[in-house]
């Protein structure tokens, strides 16, 4: 038998003489008598390395606007974010969703340019400009090659300070929003999430308001509403620049002064948001979706504010319970029982306590069984976590943290936390160490404090005819029956007037 490899230049019957293989054998890299690897146990894991970011520089424009700069010179790109306090917390009563709409229209015409002209000018520079709202902030950002930064900043200033809010663009966005609302009504996951927020926070709180809005409110928004919302928040004494990338302070500040130096301060609004009342019993809210092949499930209660002393304990706790692919919830519902493609949990940390949520979609026929398993895990996590599982959870949380700092945009997004929550500059470099210091007792105390299986809201969107009787047999609590219309409102008339 003659065999020849493309990597070898000599052959003899039954044997390949390959220079590459000869070299590897001689170097001891490959051994024909090497013992097979031991797969009976996991290889040892090195201790997670702490993240070390470059120093954060604190600068200021002549008009007093703070500038937070982190230099990163590996790639000739700059990401700039303008952080403005306010956001959805500024939505007036009866105008929930105004901040979100305001932000979406800021890039649809600004300064002397209409929407198409602005988009062309941004594209010509190879830049990306966006504006968005959060519960307590607006965020206008640009990512641009450093050579084009000086040309891009006047466009960003127009978007931030001089959006036109053209009437035709408002109508276009309104139609899009009504379409999204119509689509959401037919999407069980959207219905479940909306009802979950309403149940925990009510419909008028920013944390509980539907991201899709309702037809009456969407049709009520005017250009004047948008202008008032924008003018109340975008003030020089209510903002901070966050800049990450290939730029030095001596080059950055003159460019910012040129574009934003005339920005004036004003009276900063102080939104008053009351903390929502905690869930005080256990109840099921069942939304009928006839013929649904799956049941969408949301279970939870109000969790913790970002500045709680329990923050790092909750990070580790959630990682173990439902914050990773190997978490207890996913291992139980997906790997062990095959009820779902995935199950998880999360704490949404904000200035006020955000929701703790368990979420999954399971086969209709096993809705009751899935709930039983979820509550088993909620009970179990309140008992001491085994040492090995605790270490695995801490290592997972610590090892994945640096992945949030791979690009300039990711770094700037993380730095936004410093503005939102008033965190110290050392927060990121200290993060890994604080995660690794979490103890078994810390996790158990956090679970007992924040996770009470007897006081949770259970949201289910599914085929009532098939799942109601098995759910009642579980005796988890009273069952409140709802329709999609009761949760999402009537289907909007897309052909109707939108003034």
Binned at pLDDT 50, 70 and 90, residue 101 comes out as very high
Condensed to tens digits (0 to 9), the pLDDT of residues 14-67 reads 444 455 445 444 555 555 566 677 777 766 666 777 788 889 999 999 999 999
In sign, the C-alpha dihedral spanning 385, 390, 392, 398 is positive
Least confident of 40-54, 162-176, 274-288, 425-439: 40-54
Nearest CA-CA partner of 107 in 97, 92, 117, 95 = 117
The residue behind tokens 């309140």 is: 382
Q: Is the pLDDT of residue 2 over 60?
A: no
pLDDT, mean of residues 267-276: 86
Residue 101 to residue 212: CA distance in whole angstroms: 11
Q: What is the reported pLDDT for 36?
A: 73
* Average pLDDT of span 257-272: 93
User: How does 57-74 read in b/e, with b if 16+ C-beta sit within 10 Å?
Assistant: eeeebeeebebbbbbbee
Q: Is the pLDDT of residue 253 over 70?
A: yes
Residues in the chain: 499
Q: What is the average per-residue pLDDT within 166-186?
A: 96
What is d(CA 156, CA 45) in angstroms, rounded to the nearest whole number? 46
Task: Answer whether 82's CB lies under 8 Å from 257's CB.
Answer: no
Calculate what percentage of the chain has a pLDDT beyond 70: 91
* pTM as predicted: 0.88
pLDDT score of 269: 87
Give residue limits of the domains in the chain: 1-29, 57-260, 283-488
Same fold flag, 57-260 and 283-488: yes
pLDDT surpasses 60 at 351: yes
- Point out which residues pair with 296 in neighbouring strands: 361, 461
pLDDT number for residue 40: 73
CA distance 223 to 216: 16
Residues 141-159, mean pLDDT to the nearest whole number: 98
pLDDT at 150 over 80: yes
Give the residue with greater pLDDT, 144 vs 496.
144
Taking only the tens place, the pLDDT of each residue in 216-241 is 999 999 999 999 999 999 999 999 99
Residue 113 DSSP class: B
Please, which residues have CB within 8 angstroms of residue 147's CB and are 6 or more apart in sequence?
Answer: 76
Cβ-contact 141, 412 below 8 angstroms: yes
Nearest C-alpha neighbor of 367 from the set 432, 292, 437 = 292
State both tokens at 460. Answer: 């289910």
Q: Say yes or no to pLDDT of 466 above 50.
A: yes
Helix (H, G, I), strand (E, B) or coil at 330: helix
**Residue showing tokens 């409140």:** 480
Q: Could you tell me what percentage of the chain is helix, strand and coil, using 3-state DSSP and rounding each to the nearest 5?
A: 45, 20, 35
CATH H-level superfamily of 57-260: Metalloenzyme, LuxS/M16 peptidase-like (3.30.830.10)
Q: What is the CA radius of gyration of the chain?
A: 27
- Residue 316's region, left for phi above 0, alpha for psi from -120 to 50, else beta, is alpha
For residues 158 and 113, the answer to whether their CB atoms sit within 8 Å is yes
Least trusted range by pLDDT, from 41-55, 234-248, 415-429, 477-491: 41-55
Q: 153 Cβ partners below 8 Å, 6+ apart?
A: 80, 142, 255, 256, 258, 259, 260
Phi/psi region, residue 354 (left: phi>0; alpha: psi -120 to 50; beta: rest), is beta
DSSP H stretches of helix in 76-166 = 98-105, 115-124, 149-161
pLDDT band at 494 (very low <50, low <70, confident <90, very high): confident
Pick the CATH number of 283-488 from 3.30.2400.10, 3.30.390.50, 3.40.1280.10, 3.30.830.10: 3.30.830.10
What value does the mean pLDDT take over residues 335-353?
A: 97
Angle between helix 440-450 and helix 311-321 axes, rounded to 10 deg: 90
Work out the pLDDT band at 5, boundaries 50, 70, 90. very low
Judged by average pLDDT, the poorest of 191-205, 306-320, 485-499 is: 485-499
Q: What was the pLDDT predicted at 44?
A: 67
| Average pLDDT of the chain, as a whole number | 91
């Amino acid at each position: 038998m003659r065999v020849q490899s493309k990597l070898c230049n000599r052959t003899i019957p039954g044997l390949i003489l390959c220079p590459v293989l000869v070299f590897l054998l001689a170097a001891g890299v490959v051994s024909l008598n090497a013992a097979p690897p031991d797969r009976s146990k996991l290889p040892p894991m090195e201790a997670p390395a702490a993240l070390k970011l470059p120093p954060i520089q604190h600068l200021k424009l002549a008009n007093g606007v703070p500038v937070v700069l982190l230099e990163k010179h590996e790639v000739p790109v700059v990401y700039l974010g303008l952080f403005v306090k306010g956001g959805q917390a500024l939505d007036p009563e009866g105008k929930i969703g105004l901040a979100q709409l305001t932000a979406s229209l800021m890039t649809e015409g600004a300064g002397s340019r209409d929407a198409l002209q602005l988009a062309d000018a941004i594209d010509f520079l190879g830049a990306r400009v966006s504006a968005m709202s959060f519960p307590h902030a607006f965020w206008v950002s640009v990512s641009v090659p450093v050579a084009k930064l000086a040309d891009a900043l006047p466009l960003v200033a127009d978007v931030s300070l001089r959006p036109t809010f053209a009437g035709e663009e408002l109508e276009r966005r309104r139609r899009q929003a009504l379409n999204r609302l119509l689509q959401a009504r037919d999407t069980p996951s959207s219905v479940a999430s909306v009802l979950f927020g309403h149940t925990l926070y009510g419909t008028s709180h920013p944390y509980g308001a539907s991201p899709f809005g309702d037809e009456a409110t969407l049709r009520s928004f005017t250009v004047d509403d948008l202008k008032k919302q924008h003018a109340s928040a975008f003030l020089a004494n209510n903002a901070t620049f966050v800049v990450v990338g290939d730029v030095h302070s001596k080059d950055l500040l003159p460019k910012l002064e040129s574009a934003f130096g005339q920005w004036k301060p004003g009276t900063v609004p102080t939104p008053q948001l009351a903390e929502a009342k905690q869930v005080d019993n256990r109840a099921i809210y069942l939304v009928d979706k006839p013929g649904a092949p799956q049941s969408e499930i949301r279970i939870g209660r109000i969790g913790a504010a970002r500045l709680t002393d329990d923050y790092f304990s909750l990070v580790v706790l959630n990682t173990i319970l439902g914050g990773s692919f190997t978490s207890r919830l996913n291992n139980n519902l997906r790997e062990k029982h095959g009820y779902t493609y995935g199950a998880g949990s999360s704490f949404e940390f904000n200035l006020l306590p955000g929701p703790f949520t368990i979420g999954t979609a399971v086969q209709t026929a096993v809705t009751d069984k899935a709930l039983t398993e979820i509550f088993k895990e909620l009970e179990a996590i309140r008992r001491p976590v085994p040492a090995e599982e605790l270490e695995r959870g801490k290592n997972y949380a610590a090892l994945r943290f640096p992945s949030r700092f791979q690009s300039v945009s990711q770094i700037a997004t993380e730095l936004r936390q410093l503005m939102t929550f008033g965190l110290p500059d050392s927060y990121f470099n200290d993060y890994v160490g604080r995660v690794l210091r979490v103890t078994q007792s810390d996790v158990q105390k956090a679970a007992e404090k924040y996770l009470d299986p007897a006081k949770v809201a259970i949201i289910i969107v599914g085929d009532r005819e098939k799942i109601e009787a098995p759910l009642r047999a579980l005796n988890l609590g009273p069952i409140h029956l709802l329709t999609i219309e009761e949760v999402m409102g009537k289907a909007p008339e897309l052909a109707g007037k939108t003034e």
